[in-house]
Structure 1
Amino acid sequence: MNDIQAFITVARERSFTRAAALLGVSPSALSHTMRNLEERIGVRLLARTTRNVAPTEAGEKLLLSVAPLFEQINSEIERIAELRDTPAGNIRITCSDNAAEDLLRPMLPAFLAQYPDISIEICIDYGFTNIVSERFDAGIRLGESISKDMIAVRMGPDWRLAVVGTPEYFQANPAPLTPQDLARHRCINIRHSPAGSVYAWEFEKEGRKLNIRVNGPLISNSILHVMNGALDGIGLAYVPDSMAQPHIEAGRLVEVLSDWSPMFEGFHLYYPNRRNTSSAFAAFVDAVRYRGKIR
């Protein structure tokens, strides 16, 4: 049974190195285990090359048939574990780095101190990750982008984006008065996923909406690096106001076009259903739930 569980891990990860790290064994030992399993069964389960490993047709059939059974066993064991006095377990979350910084970082110290048997795994990702297929417990997104078949729990207030640059930048360049003026400025772009397009800056004023594509010397998939680019004087950045405000108050950044900045629905924690919610996950949801006023 342990060997089959190891096979499931290798088949899913398609890498002896990654699977070995998850299982806590060496890649060579794991490869030896797989060869012994194939010899006992009498069928080749994995196709190996110098760089890749993938299940054969027989391996794919075995994976599809037995993996759900192991998941059911693990689920039942977790349910039994719920009978213990304190919540325990690992919670996997996918989110952007600014959501992790603004929403998770402030609450984690107290939460993990209160629940020492709970561990939190945070995966930074700007793409629209499928939390079910990637085996995440939940994700964090803006409320407007969450599928209707998901349960969504608000984590923070509505917010807006702010166009910011350093005082030195604006000493050398006139401040834009309209979004169209950004065409004459160096702007720092963000591309949320490697295959996606560069984000078009969204503006709104008195019911008029504009999507402006800007150009500049730097593109990142992380809003933190976009912010750092603005702080370093590379150009203008369009970042959440909560990130920019401390730097604005300290005089490191100056905001422009504030009357054009639209409001966005706050971040939400989202997950598939409540039927398999563990006490650890329930405690986490309660800890991140937004209890303030919505702007």
Structure 2
Amino acid sequence: MNILLTSVGRRSYLVKYFKEALNGEGKVFVSNSDNMTPSFEFADGAVVTPLIYDENYINFLKNYCLENKISLIISLFDIDLLVLAKHKQEFEELGIRIIVSDEKIIKICNDKWETFMFLKNKNFNVPKTYIDIESVKQDLKNKKLNYPLILKPRWGMGSIGLYEAENNEELEVLYRKVENKIEASYLKYESKNTKERNVLIQEKLKGQEYGLDIINDLEGNYCTTIVKKKNAMRAGETDCAETINSKDLKLEGKKVSRALKHVGNLDLDLFLCDGKDYVLEMNARFGGGYPFSHLAGVNLPLAIVKWAKEEKVDINSILKEKENVIGHKNIEIVKI
């Protein structure tokens, strides 16, 4: 079995994890739209693709997979997930399986406003969230909302365009700054159909932040939840975390799984405030917090390989984490 990791970026650790999972019974290929990609150095094969929105992107991937006998595709980038989800059936007709949730699920996760509405409708606790600045001003005036406020792109990921406003003046300036960041980045493609509704404004939650890996099998059936206490963040991604045993948060993960029915991993951000857990964001892919789960004994790449081969996966061994394992990301230089 050969595997292709698309939009691989700097996730070289995932290349290593999947090579270990294959154990010599297949190769790991990677792709990205930029040749200055560190993970290229760790794969069995690498290719520079057209941009995700290029009309030739899908056909390029199809040809590359056929030429290299690739039977499994896993994407590591939100925008790529949506494009691949739309073409999943076409790849399956060629004998190539894309490990991605249905298009409607990806849309819920990629669009932070849709995430908020979905979670609210399913009765999960969520922070106060707005899609237009005038409603924010009105609630501030009526004392229904207080500073500080978080501003971020509706379609963004990581720390792109993420700001904190402490007063009315900052709110106005940072709102325009987020709009400018959107137009200056890849986010402009997703945002073109939602003009003037592309900046999300949320109350800032004060409490402990947690990251959850909510794992389903390839049919969307719930398997387990890994809970990690976040100790440090860098550029919008978890830098240091500790696996913990929280029955309440594991139950919350199970509820999200059954409401969403995603495939594979769901990376979920959650705050615990005054005894209540508030769900902030969801990413339907391997998130930046997964390595902490892997370090604690979870082996989702191996589970995916086994599921794809229609082999039995022992949840209590392959997907069981050790408690109180603390991990911290390190910086290494890779020669390109």
TM-score tier by shorter-chain length is: under 0.3
TM-score, scaled to structure 1: 0.27
| Bigger CA radius of gyration | 1
More helix by share: 1
Higher relative contact order (CA 8 A, sep 6+): 1
